[in-house]
Every structure is written in C-alpha cells, then in structure tokens.
Structure 1
Amino acid sequence: MTAAVLLLVLAALPCALHARLVHEGEDGFSECNGFFHQGSPPQGFTHPGNVKICQRYQGDQHYATLYSTQHKIPVYSAFTYQEGAGGGWGGWMVEPQVDDSKSSLDEVTKGSDAKEHVPDLGTNQALEEDYASTDYQPGALYHRASPALTSSVPLTPEFTEKWAADVDLLIKEKLLPHCESGEHLHLLTGAVPSNTKVNDKVAIPEFIWLAACCNAPEAWSLGIIKRTGDVDGLEQVTVEELENQLSGDIKLFSNQCGGGALHPELRSTSDASTQTDEEPSVQTPGAFSRFFQFIFCVIYEIINTFVCLVWFLFKQVCNIIFGRLYWIWTALTTYIFALSKVLLNIPCDVLCVFANILCGFVRILNNALSVVCLILRLPTRFLCDMASFPYYTICAIPDVGIDILSGVWGVFMLGFSAVFGAFGGSFSVASFAGSSFFQRFIGQSEGYEN
C-alpha cells in the first residue's frame, strides 16, 4: 500500500525528477561525477552527436547518461548501487533539453506535456510513440533506475525480463558478496547500436553490456555482455575484454579500477590455471598439495556453477509460472468484470429498446391521426355548410316577408301621407284665400292687416 501511494504521489509530481544537459566547459558530468569510479567518466566516447545528461531526484543526484542523438539510444548510464532503489512513477519520460538546449524545462517531462513547449520534440531523442506497432518496447539498461527514455533501448519484452533477472542475479550473488558496501559498487551499463532501427528511427542494440567496479576493501572489476540475438546467453568477461568489444580506444574506469584487478572469482580461476600451467612434473608433497588444491577449486567451481544454474533455472521457472498465473488471473478477472458489466447493462438496454419502440408507435399514431384530421377537415366543413343551408334559408323567409310588408306598408303610408298632405295643404290655401276674400268683401281688410 505504501509503495502504491508513493507511486501515485510521484505520478502527480513528475517535476520531482530533474535533469539537465551538461554543457561544454563543465567538468565531466558536473554534479553527477560521483556516479563514476574516482569521479572520472569513461574515456573514448567522443562522437559529436553524444550529449551528457545529469538527472536528479528530489534534490539528489540519481544517475548520469551519455546519450547518442544519432542512434537515439544511450551510449551508457552510470549508477552507484543502492539497495531498494528504482521503480517507476507512471510512465516513460523525455528530456526536452535534448531537442532544445535553450528550453526552460530543465526536468524530464511526459511527452504530451513537453510537446506544448518544444515543437521539434523527438528530433534528437526517442519518444514512446516511436515504438508503436512493433514487437519492441523501451527496455531500461538498469531496471532499478527511474523510467526515462534517455536511459532505455528497444528490446523485446522477453529480453527485457531476462536482462533484469540476469542483472539482479549478478549483483546479488557475484558483486555484493565481494564488495564491502553497495556505495562502493559503481555500475556502468550501455548498448552498442546495430544497423537495424525501429520505425527507421531508434537503433536496436547489437548487444548490451554492464561493467562493475568495487573499490573496497580492494579494487576489482567485472563485465558482462548479453547479445540481443541470444535471449538466454550471457558472457562474463573482464573489463579489458569488454573494452575491446567496444569501438575505439575505450577506458571505462579510472586507473582500470585498481590496475585492472579481476573479480575475486575470476582471479581464483586465473590463479588456479596459472598454477596448473607452471606445475612441475616432479611429484613432491608440495606438488600433491597444490594438485589437490587445484582439484578442489575445480570441483568447487563446478558445484557452485551447477548450484547457481539450478537456482537460476528454478527462479526462471517460478517467474514464468507465477507470471503466467498472474497474467491468467488478470485476464480472467478482466473478462469477468467486462462480462458482468455487459450482463448488467442488458436489462437497461432492453428497457430502453422497448421504451423507444413504444415512443415510436405513439409518434406514428399521432402522425396518422393528424393526417386523418387533416383529410376529414375540408369535407366535414362542407357537409356542415350544406346541412345548415336549408335552416338558414327557411329561417330567412319570415324576415324577408316582414321586410317586404314593411316596404309595402311604408309605400302605402307614404302615399297616404302625400295625399293627406296635399288635401291639407289645399284646404289651408283655400281657407286662407276665402278668409282674405271675405274680409275684403265686408270691409275688414285694415283690421285684418292690424
């Protein structure tokens, strides 16, 4: 639970891992020189396309990387062994300053966030999308390091898993038992590019290598090589033999890590071989003692190698079995969860379908009724008008008769009024004329005028 919480916190704060390019004029890898034996980086890696990256984690130096912008893979990364170190925090990170040395982003950042500030992101370094639609994935050179693409190379998942197991076994059973403290154990791990590239951009390594140097209690060194064409193979070599495998005049450790002293196991094997070569044929008590000592060393190495091989095979079988069981369990639970979700959604989907069908029928019925009403509206109004015509016609006859009688009566009354008026007017005129004549006749005209 604590580890999960830590991963969530680190995922929410990606700016906790700071990184910056080490520019010309700075000594070696600047503040990251402490990851190298005696503070001296390897010599001979002078390609102009190589850039130095110093990465820090929460204020502390984390590791140093020499990165090839030509092949877009690391040339090497330097670490100091720390127990319990490593682990990721939610995804692969890129270094914006590799593509834009003037970028203000002096820390590793998620590719999607860095693209907003660096338009040419991916010109000089590999991005996570460069591995899309291929059988390769970003494989960390040292799986205990934080997952930055600048310290990873294209590897198959099977090879990545095998390489991590080989490194763990080497550190646990061969390096730490002969080194006083992990702080004195310096690790260099790198890759030699091939001519094959992923998506014609990121070089697939021909082989990857690891060189170890311990300077306490006495200095010694050891190297291993793992070729990408041989998943199960692992070559254990001296640092000098490893340097000969790398192109150019390469020196991995300052002073050859104690003058080129071998790992104690290689040293004992070498000493035994030398004693056997120089053993005189004269049988003396000392000769018999050295002979039996040699036989004992050979038997010890055979038994030790056999036990290591059996233990390694046992671990691989366990890893495969438990890995497959975990994969099956994850796939089964994912399938059951998805199936349960689908089954639970079926009733809701069925109800939604029925509801949609019902709504569709209602809409169809509504539209049909609307059409019927539209069709029946015109003849219905016509029939109503035709049915009401006799009623309105019959009801209008009395009104028309009354109007006619009113008109006739009015004409009659008008004629009567005219006749009566004519007679009245004539009578008035006759009366007036008679009165005037009578008054004149009897001599009362003055009085009448008065």
Structure 2
Amino acid sequence: MEAAALLCLAALPCLLDARLVPEGEDGFAECNGYFYQGSPPQGFSGPSFAKICQKYNGDKQFATLYNTQDKTPVYSAFTYREGAAGGPGGWLIEPQLDDAGSSLDEATSGNEISNQISGLGGNQALEEDYSSSEYQPGSLFHSAHSTLTNAVPLTSSFKEKWVSDADRFVKESLLPYCENGENLHLIAGAVPSSVKLNDKVSVPEFVWLAACCNVPNAWSAGIVKGTGDLDNLEDITVEELENKYLGGAKLFSNQCGGGAAHPERKATSDASTQTDTEPPGAATGPFFRFVQFLICIVYEILKSVLYLVWFLVKQVCNLVLGRLYWIWTAVTTYIFALCKVLLGIPYDVLRVIGNVICGFVRIINNVFSAVCLVLRLPLRFLSDIASFPYYTLCAIPDVGLEILSGLWGVLALGLNAIFGAFGGSFSVASFAGSSVLQRFVGQSGGYED
C-alpha cells in the first residue's frame, strides 16, 4: 500500500498543474469562464494577492485568489458539474508562489521540491504547518482538487460539518431551481481571523459560499458559517454577504440579475407571510392583540436572555478551552523539543568519541608511514650488502666457464686457420701440378704427329 501511495504521489505533477496569472492579463485569463459573465469579483486587491488558474489532466478546474500574507485563499470560483471528481489524493503546493522565476509551472508535492525552491513556504502554507495541531487543511468547496492554495485550517469536526452543509445547500437549495447545473456559478471563500496556526497560517473566522444561476432568470443566494459554532449556518443574500462579511466587495457582475432573491427563499417568505396573516373568523379585538403583544414581549425577552447566557457561556468556554489548548500545545512542544535535545546528546557524544578515535588512528597511521619511509633506504642498502657475497660467489663458475669457452674458441680459430692455410697451399700445388702435367702431355702428342 505504501509503495502504491508513493507511485500515486510521484504521478501527481503529471496530472495537476496551475498557472499564476500575471497582472498584465485580464482577470484570471483562461479561467475567467468560472465567473458569472466572465467577470471576476471586484473589491479584492492588494500586493499580497495572487491569481491562480488551476487545471487537472489538462482541463481547467477552478480559479483562486490567494493571499500570500495570510497563507490562505481569499476565494475560489467554480462552475457546478454533476459527478465532478475530487481529484487525486495528497496535498500539493504552487512552486511559483515562492519563486516567480521557477520553471516548475505545475502544482507539486512539497517534499519533491524542497531542495529546488529557495524560501519554500514563505508565501504559502505547507503540510508541515498543520503538524502538531488540531487543524487540518480543508478545501473551500469539497469537489475541488487537493491543493493547499485552495485550503484553510479547519478542525476535523467543523470540516465534516461544512462539507455536509455546503453539499446540502447546493443539492437542495440551488440545483432544483437552476435548469442547467453548468450555469450555476459558485464562489467559496474564507474570512481570516486574528488567530494564526504556528504563527503563519490564518485560521478563518467564517467560511462562506455564494451562488449565481443565470437560467432561466438570474438569481443568487449564499450561506455563511462561523468556525466557532458547528450548528450555526446562516442563509443569507449575496448583498448581505458582501456588505456584512466582505467589506462591500462585489462577487457577481451586475449583482447576478440585480440581486434577485433565491426562489426557495422567496417561496418560504411568501408562505411565512400567509401564515402570519389572520384567517377569516379569527379572534380579534384590542384585548387579544394586547395579549399577543405581551406574549411576544415575554418571548423576545426570554429569547434574548437565553441568547445572552448562551453567548456568555460559549465565550467563557472558548476562552478557557482556548487557553488550555495553547498551554497544552506549548507544553507538548517544549517537551518534544527537550526530548529531542536530550536524545541527541548521546548521539553527539558517540560521534565526538568516534571522531577522536578516528583521529588517533590517522595519527598512528601517519607515524607508521613516516617510520617506514625513513627505514626503507637503510634496509635496502644493508640487504644489497648482505647479498653481494652470494651473487659474487655464484658468478665465479659462470665467469670461469666463459673464460674457458673463450680460450677454446681462440684455439679452435687458430687450428682452423692453420688447417685452412695447409688446405689452400695443397690446393694451389695440385692445381699447378695438374696444369704443368697437362701442358707436358699435350706437347708430347704434337711432336709425334
């Protein structure tokens, strides 16, 4: 299983890529189609904001405006797609956020490029920023791919609750009233708080989701959920979301049809109005209205008191539990660091001892080598002197044999010269005698004729 997981992680860079959109390009470039009428939200600007166009398998998936100061996304824009996959597992980062000149133009696992990018994590969150904490990276919208540029720190329970609430909101309150789901534009975002994870990544105070459908008529709706309350989910108009939580920023072009309300909200409001209207024949009169007025006052007072008590209890619990959590985190971090140092002491001592022993061994080796070098010449000289008699005595027989061989060669050469002289003289005498004889015999025959 571990080998398969490693293979999957190794294949991620080939599947998921992103592109930082420079200031010169209009909006989010090829990812402008995720916004209503191709127009990104207005009112979000700053030197720490970076625009990212995210892709998967070559297809555009969503657009993200990332805050490099808070190390969290400001918002991500999507269009609804039925059965959209959640992308590969494992959290990826965007190399060009930390190094704009990097040739790595695709989302990559941080472990694979830790030695290739200088200052990695200076402008974005990394997986190790979530270690030793109760927070996990949670995607703004659960169908998005697993990139840390689209994730914010959430507790495990809140993460599950937000995924459930957002999914139910889309399927029950949006899709039934939008004829074509592909025309449903979604923008999910987070409002950062003053709390920072490991003094680096901002923990969100609120997460929100806004929708705009332009079929058959443009209308919009939104939800907001505070991270401090699991059960709270505020159904809100986009205009209220913009003014109350986003500082007046505009999410959709032309307010998505002029800010028309969600059909279900309108139907619910109409039903509520009809319920509040007094039916024919109902009891009327000043007394009954006075009783209803008193009941409403008592009810509102009790509700306000209960809300106040609950708010105070919740704040006290959050304060106490928050301080206890930070104390616990500080204590565990200190103990972990202390244990790490204490466990490292024996290793460092053994390493020093090993280095000292190795140093002594090298010194002894150098001394031995020097002694051998000094003694090498006298030993060789003495060896040559000791072996001189042996080589001298052994050479006497060979020299004697060589002398005898030379004498024998001289003697043989002299004998050969003597015998050669005699043989030559005899040959000359024989030739001369035979010539004289032939001449004498020849002349005798002539006289007889």
Task: Say whether the fold is shared (TM-score over 0.5).
Answer: yes
The answer on whether the counterparts of 2:99 and 2:118 sit within 8 Å (CA) in structure 1 is no
- Which residue does 2:77 correspond to in 1? 78
| Cα displacement string for residues 351-374 of structure 1 (whole angstroms, at most 9, x for unaligned residues) | xxxxxxxxxxxxxxxxxxxxxxxx
Partner of 1:102: 101
1:400-411 matched pairs, under 5 angstroms: none
CA distance, structure 2, for counterparts of residue 173 and residue 278 of structure 1 = 28
Q: Which residue of 1 aligns with 2:54?
A: 55
Q: What is the TM-score when the length of structure 2 is the normalising length?
A: 0.59
Q: Distance in 2 between matches of 1:245 and 1:33?
A: 26
Structure 1 pair 6–49 and aligned structure 2 pair: CA distance change class (3 A): same
Q: What pairs with 1:179-218 in structure 2 (closer than 5 Å)?
A: 179-218=178-217
By how many angstroms is 1:44 displaced? 0.4
- Please say if residues 52 and 65 of structure 2, whose CA atoms lie closer than 8 Å, have aligned partners that are also in contact: yes
CA contact (8 A) 2:72 2:149 kept: yes
Residue 11 of structure 2 corresponds to 12
| Distance apart, 1:173 and its partner CA | 1.1
Q: What displacement does 1:56 show?
A: 1.2
Confirm or deny: 8 A CA contact 2:53 2:62 kept in the other structure.
yes
Greater shift in the superposed pair: 9-18 or 85-94: 9-18
Tell me what 2:262 maps to.
263
Q: 2: CA distance between counterparts of 1:27 and 1:236?
A: 33
The equivalent residue for 2:327 is none
Verify the 8 A CA contact 2:184 2:211 in the aligned structure 1.
yes
Q: Encode CA deviations 1:121-142: one digit per residue, 9 max, x unaligned.
A: 1000000000110000101111
- Unaligned regions of 5+ residues in structure 2, if any? 283-449
Cα distance in structure 2, aligned partners of 1:150 and 1:189: 13
Listed as ranges, the matches of 1:128-277 within 5 Å are: 128-271=127-270
The 1-side partners of 2:20 and 2:178 are apart by 32
Query: Distance between the aligned counterparts of 2:23 and 2:204, measured in 1?
Result: 28
8 Å contact kept, 2:12–2:88: no
Q: What residue is the counterpart of 1:22 in the other structure?
A: 21
After superposition, the C-alpha distances for 1:139-193 in whole angstroms (9 at most, x for unaligned) are: 1111111100000000001111111111111111111111111100110000000
2:354 is aligned to none
Q: CA separation in 1, counterparts of 2:7 and 2:86?
A: 12
Structure-2 change in CA distance of 1:85 and 1:113 (3 Å) = same
Residue identity in the other structure for 1:264: P
CA contact (8 A) 1:22 1:30 kept: yes
The answer as to 2:124 corresponding to 1:125 is yes
Counterpart CA distance in 2 for 1:244 and 1:278 is: 32
Inter-partner Cα distance in structure 1 for 2:160 and 2:46: 31
Specify the code of the residue in structure 2 equivalent to 1:154. P
CA separation in 2, counterparts of 1:122 and 1:148?
Answer: 14
Query: Per-residue deviation at 1:280?
Result: 12
User: Is contact 1:8-1:89 (8 Å) kept?
Assistant: no
8 Å CA contact retained: 2:207, 2:227: yes
- In the superposition, the TM-score normalised over structure 1's length comes to 0.59
1:59 deviates by 1.5
Q: Is the 8 A contact 1:15 1:109 kept in 2?
A: no
> What's the CA shift for 1:281?
9.9
CA contact (8 A) 2:19 2:105 kept: yes
Separation in 2, partners of 1:60, 1:154: 27
Greater gyration radius: 1
Q: 1:279 to 1:40 in 2, by over 3 A?
A: farther
- In 2 relative to 1, CA 278–261 (structure 1 residues): closer, same or farther, beyond 3 Å? farther
Q: Sequence identity, in percent?
A: 66
Q: Distance in 1 between matches of 2:181 and 2:130?
A: 34
Q: Give, in whole Å, the separation in 1 of the partners of 2:6 and 2:35.
A: 28
Aligned residues of 1:18 and 1:55 also touching (Cα < 8 A) = yes
The aligned amino acid for 2:103 is S
- Whole-angstrom CA distance in 1 between matches of 2:6 and 2:223: 32
Q: Is the 2:72–2:202 contact (alpha carbons within 8 Å) kept by the matching residues of 1? A: yes
Q: Which residue of 1 aligns with 2:405?
A: none
Helix, strand or coil: the match of 1:245? helix
Task: After the TM superposition, list the runs of 4 or more consecutive aligned residues in structure 1 that deviate by more than 4 angstroms.
Answer: 5-11, 271-283
Distance 2:114 2:10 in 1: 18
Equivalent position SS for 2:111? helix
Kindly provide the amino acid, as one letter, of the partner of residue 128 in structure 1: E
Structure 1 residues 131 and 240: alpha-carbon distance in aligned structure 2, compared to 1, 3 A threshold: same
**How big is the alpha-carbon RMSD for the aligned residues of Structure 1 and Structure 2?**
2.4
Aligned-pair CA distance for 1:246: 2.5
Instruction: Report Cα offsets for 1:61-88 as digits up to 9, x if no partner.
Output: 1100000011000000000111111324
- Please give the alpha-carbon distance, in whole angstroms, between the structure 2 residues aligned to 1:52 and 1:7: 30
Instruction: Determine the C-alpha separation between the residues in 1 that align with 2:6 and 2:209.
Output: 28
Relative to structure 1, the CA distance from residue 59 to residue 99 in structure 2 (aligned partners, 3 Å threshold; closer, same or farther) is same
Aligned-residue offset at 1:13: 3.9
- Structure 1 residues without counterparts, runs of 5 or longer: 284-450
What secondary structure is seen at the aligned counterpart in 2 of 1:52?
strand
SS of 1:113 mapped into structure 2? coil
C-alpha distance in structure 1 between counterparts of 2:7 and 2:95, whole Å: 23
SS in 2 for 1:27: coil
**How far off its partner does 1:46 sit?**
1.1
Contact in 1 for aligned 2:13/2:108 (Cα 8 Å): yes
